């Protein structure tokens, strides 16, 4: 049931990404590129998404638990550290260079666009590189293996 709900949410989200233009790398880059032809539409889409997400968070808090039974979800990370700053800068660099993020790369895969698939594959390799080269990443991998 949880998987079905997640699949439906993914479909809805993907549709929203396409309709809004957020899935379009050129639109993302037009939002990030400074200059006179600045295109605010990506920001507008994010603002609209924040409003709906805010309502969802309020409702979820009022309900006190998820409507569907399932494994417990770890709480969101809090606190600000160097890893957050460095990770977000690196992430942003890749986002700006290509106009893709992992989510929009997957909708591009669904449109049979080669660069979406290329970005997604490279992002997986980047994640694996992180896990292999940092002590924290190696610890995560050990935990995964010991859990099977």
Partner 1 sequence: MVLDWLSTASGAAVMGGGLVGLSAALLLVLTGRAMNMSDMFGSLLGGNEGLAAASIAFLAGLVLAPTVWQIWVPLPDAGGGTNVPLVLVAGLLAGFGARLGGTGISGQAILGLARQSRRALVAVVCMILGGIAGVVASGWVRSSGVPT
Binding partner 1 by CB under 8 A: which of 36, 37, 38, 122?
A: 122
Cβ at position 145, least distance to partner 1 in Å: 8
Binding mask 15-34 for partner 1 (x = CB under 8 A): xxxxxxxx-xxx-xx--xxx
Question: Which 123-142 residues touch partner 1, going by CB under 8 A?
Answer: 123-131, 134, 137
Total binding residues toward partner 1, as defined by CB under 8 A? 111
Binding partner 1 by CB under 8 A: which of 36, 37, 38, 65?
A: 65
Tokens of 105: 């790369």
| CA neighbor of 118 nearest in space, from 126, 131, 16 | 126
Binding partner 1 by CB under 8 A: which of 36, 37, 63, 146?
A: 63
Binding partner 1 by CB under 8 A: which of 38, 56, 138, 142?
A: 56
Question: Which 83-112 residues touch partner 1, going by CB under 8 A?
Answer: 83-103, 105-107, 109-111
Distances, alpha carbon 113 to alpha carbons 10, 104, 107, 110, 120, in Å = 19, 11, 9, 8, 11
Q: For residues 61 and 127, what is the distance between their CA atoms, to the nearest angstrom?
A: 32
Are 48 and 138 within 8 A, CB to CB?
A: no
| CA neighbor of 123 nearest in space, from 140, 141, 143, 106 | 106
Binding partner 1 by CB under 8 A: which of 38, 67, 138, 142?
A: 67
> Which segments of the chain does DSSP mark as H helices, in order?
2-20, 25-32, 41-63, 82-98, 102-110, 114-133, 135-147
Cβ at position 36, least distance to partner 1 in Å: 15
- Closest to partner 1 by CB, 36 vs 78, is 78
């Amino acid at each position: 049931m949880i998987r079905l709900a997640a699949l439906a949410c993914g479909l809805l989200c993907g549709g929203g990404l396409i309709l809004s233009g957020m899935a379009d790398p050129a639109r993302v880059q037009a939002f990030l590129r400074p200059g006179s032809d600045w295109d605010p539409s990506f920001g507008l889409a994010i603002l609209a998404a924040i409003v709906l997400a805010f309502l969802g968070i309020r409702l979820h808090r009022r309900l006190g638990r998820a409507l569907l039974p399932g494994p417990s979800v770890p709480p969101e990370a809090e606190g600000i550290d160097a890893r957050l700053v460095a990770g977000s800068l690196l992430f942003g660099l890749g986002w700006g260079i290509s106009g893709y993020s992992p989510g929009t790369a997957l909708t591009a895969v669904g449109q049979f666009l080669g660069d979406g698939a290329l970005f997604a594959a490279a992002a997986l390799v980047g994640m694996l590189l992180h896990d292999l080269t940092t002590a924290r990443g190696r610890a995560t991998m050990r935990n995964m293996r010991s859990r099977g």
